[in-house]
Amino acid sequence: VLHEPHLDRLPKHGAHTIRFTYDETVRAIDFIDELAHEEDFDCELERTGYLEIALNSFHRKEQAAKQKACREIGIELDVLDETAMQQTIQSERFPGALVYPKAAMLHPGKYVAGLKSAVLRRGVRLYENSPVQRVRPESSAVTVATAAGSISAAKLVLGLNAYHPASGIGIVRDRAVTL
């Protein structure tokens, strides 16, 4: 669910925006947990933390720089040295790791199935298997064009493949964050 503060966006968007995005992503974990309980579905959410494992001394230096950059904008990450890594994962192979303590994981299929059931109970219409060709924001609505036709709505939620570049859809260009 969370393991990256998106520091690569820092030059363009600034520290405030990066910190805000990170904090909102952390809050999303709490929201998912609350929603799953309220809607009575199990998405196997686990607050596991995340280790970004260093494979060599160069990676350790990169991680130290990332930790410093994060600390400068108020995001606390820990760096494990070789001894701490051996105690954590019982392996002498890796010289260190960057620790994202607030990271969590979930079963994406169960999460989406739970969301689908919840919104259908509320009368929301879903249009699955409808590749979007164009999104056109208007003053009071958003129009979405697909091969089968167009639909307009006051609000739009786009569900994108986590690894699909959002840059092809202009309305979300550089605004999408993988959760």
Looking at residue 155, what is its pLDDT?
Answer: 86
Per-residue pLDDT tens digits for 87-133: 999 988 999 999 999 999 999 999 999 999 999 999 998 888 888 88
Of the two residues 131 and 43, the one the predictor is more confident about is 43
User: Can you tell me the mean pLDDT for 67-80?
Assistant: 94
The arithmetic mean of pLDDT across residues 26-32, rounded, is 92
Structure token digits, residue 109: 């299929």
Q: With bands split at pLDDT 50, 70 and 90, how would you rate the model's confidence at 164?
A: low
161: Cβ contacts below 8 Å, ≥ 6 apart? none
Position 79 pLDDT exceeds 80 = yes
